[in-house]
Amino acid sequence: MVAHGVILLLLLSILPGWQEVLGMVPVRIVEVDVGQNLTVACTTHDISQSSLNSNVMWVREGRKDGQIQRMKIEPNKALELVNVSVDDAGNYFCTIDNDVDAVKTKINIQVKTAPPALHNVWVKPSTILANILWEVTGTGGYPIIDFTAEYRLKPKAEEEPENWKPIMPTHIPPNSRQIDVYHLDPNTTYVFRVWATNKLGRGNIVEVEGHTHHIIEELGMSINLVKVII
């Protein structure tokens, strides 16, 4: 028997017979915002008085160091997670009286966050403008509201960087995957940054550098293009 109120965080791979038993238990999906507290019942049905006097075992698929300090079992055998983090996402299983045949529920906890960093962010510069492009690999669990992009001159060594300048529009539509920035100086290095935002806030920022073309360089490219056409 397990002492009353004890939480076990075990790797399922070391528990013989668990995989077969758990394969027959329906999965219940529970969603929670990062930073919130979450209480998960051992079963969707009311627990009998006899079960309330029994021991409960919660098993997590995989081990996360330090997680147990933020977990506790309520008197009704529900599991409470305090200040949920992304590390709390995963599969949880509950049994009563340490009886494998008495698995009550299999829960998949999904933690929603601000959007992750955008992917494959790069800059395609010209002489006085640049095109910033990106890809989206995730939303954090909520729809993306908009994107934001900013730029500034790359500071020289031991030089204080200037303030970021907004790239218009300041709220780039969520279906966009690129934005143009105008009125740049030729032959100049700039730093650009871009991020996504959902209802939980601003996502991770990605910064990239781009160097605008020299006017003579662009003029030479135009002359070569004319020669090819002729």
CATH of the domain at 22: 2.60.40.10
Same-domain pairing of 93 and 123: no
Same-domain pairing of 77 and 145: no
Domain boundary among 64, 93, 112: 112
Q: pLDDT class for 19, splitting at 50, 70, 90?
A: low
Same-domain pairing of 134 and 196: yes
CB 152 within 8 A of CB 185: no
Same-domain pairing of 21 and 104: yes
CB atoms within 10 A of CB 154: 16
pLDDT tens track for 118-177: 999 999 999 999 999 999 999 999 999 999 999 999 998 888 999 999 999 999 999 999
CB 114 within 8 A of CB 146: no
Kindly tell me if the per-residue pLDDT of 41 is higher than 80: yes
- Count up the domains in the chain and report the number: 2
Q: What's the pLDDT score for residue 220?
A: 52
Domain boundary among 112, 134, 157: 112
Sheet of 27-33: strand order equals 27-33, 103-112, 90-96, 56-60
Same-domain pairing of 100 and 71: yes
- For residue 167, CA distances in Å to 130, 149, 200 come to 11, 6, 22
**75, part of any domain:** yes
- Residue from 139, 137, 23 nearest 91 by CA: 23
Would you mind telling me the total number of residues written for the chain in this entry?
230
Same-domain pairing of 90 and 136: no
Same-domain pairing of 204 and 174: yes
Q: What's the pLDDT score for residue 59?
A: 82
First to last CA, the chain: 88
Span of 5-9, 94-98, 133-137, 197-201 with lowest mean pLDDT: 5-9
Same-domain pairing of 48 and 97: yes
Q: Residues 115, 81, 102, 57: is their CA dihedral positive or negative? A: positive
Helix H segments across 13-163?
Answer: 18-22, 49-52
**228, part of any domain:** no
Domain boundary among 112, 136, 154: 112
- Which structural domain, as residue segments, surrounds residue 51? 12-112
Same-domain pairing of 16 and 65: yes
Only one residue has tokens 């740049």, namely 184
CB atoms within 10 A of CB 107: 21
| Reported pTM | 0.77
- The C-alpha atoms of residue 109 and residue 88 are separated, in whole angstroms, by 7
Token pair of 208 as six digits? 């990239």
Amino acid at 153: L
pLDDT tens track for 29-40: 999 999 999 999
Same-domain pairing of 107 and 136: no
